[in-house]
A = this chain, B = another copy of it.
Amino acid sequence: MKARVHVTLKPGVLDPQGKAIEHSLSDLGFEGIGGVRQGKFIEIELAETDAAKAEAMVEEMCKKLLSNVVIENYSIELEWLKGV
């Protein structure tokens, strides 16, 4: 099983990276950009085959390590690996 985790800054939390990218894109001549936010994307391969258990486990990983709930939100998607 593969878990795909997105960790993003909570709305309202300053995102200096996103701001800088936005700036740079408009310097490059791209127009009509309303805003850019940057987050992390983490892919985890798991031996667990039970989806509910896997989800609970990844949820726990997010809480314990992958995100800091002070400033970040996370979301989890599960995906069966081909051939597993």
Which residues of A does B touch, CB under 8 Å? 6-8, 18, 21, 24-25, 28, 30-48, 57, 60-61, 64-66
> What B residues does A43 contact at CB under 8 A?
8, 36-39
> What B residues does A8 contact at CB under 8 A?
41, 43
Contact: B37 with A42, CB < 8 Å?
yes
Chain copies in the assembled complex: 2
Given contacts A32-B47, A33-B46, A36-B43, 16 further A-B contacts (CB under 8 A): A6-B41, A8-B43, A21-B42, A21-B65, A24-B65, A30-B60, A31-B47, A32-B46, A34-B45, A34-B46, A36-B45, A38-B40, A38-B43, A39-B40, A40-B40, A40-B41
